Amino acid sequence: MLQEDSDATFLRLFEAYLETGPQLMLQAYILLHAVYNDDVDENLAKVQLVSIFSSLLSLAWAPVSYYRTVRLSSAGKATMNCSSTIVSVLWQLCFLSSRCLALSLFAAKFNEWVFVPLSVHIVV
């Protein structure tokens, strides 16, 4: 049962990075592009911010959930308590939000040029 739970959280990790990550980047790009062009609808921006934050939280929770499950299924490892889980989620939030914000700001400002640093990053 622990192995199956570990496999399920591993698949959830893939789902988060392959579905939620691009969705988060697209939402942030759309909002920032509207801000740069002074074309912001206040109500729509609030909804987008809530959606961006929920995507970011989902993206931060996926690796923490995987780490918790791996530690639970490993015989020699101690399980993560509530405080360590909170610290891990906050660490992942800070880690991911800075990267997503940097890429979204770059994409909103330089539009199609965002593919150059992404391609270089992938190749390196």
CA-CA-CA-CA dihedral for 88, 93, 94, 98, to nearest 10: 150
Q: How many residues are present in the chain?
A: 124
Nearest-CA neighbor of 48 among 24, 82, 13? Answer: 24
Over range 24-33, report the average pLDDT: 88
83-123: pLDDT as tens digits: 989 999 999 999 999 988 888 888 888 877 888 887 887 89
Does residue 3 surpass a pLDDT of 80? no
Give the dihedral sign, CA 53/54/60/61: positive
- Please give the pLDDT value at position 54: 93
- Please give the pLDDT value at position 56: 93
- Please give the pLDDT value at position 44: 85
Q: How many CA atoms lie within 13 A of 49 on its CB side?
A: 9
Instruction: Report the distance separating Cα 73 and Cα 24, nearest Å.
Output: 31
Does residue 11 surpass a pLDDT of 80? yes
Beta-carbon contacts of 19 under 8 Å, excluding residues fewer than 6 positions away, are none
60-89: pLDDT as tens digits: 999 999 888 888 877 777 778 889 899 999
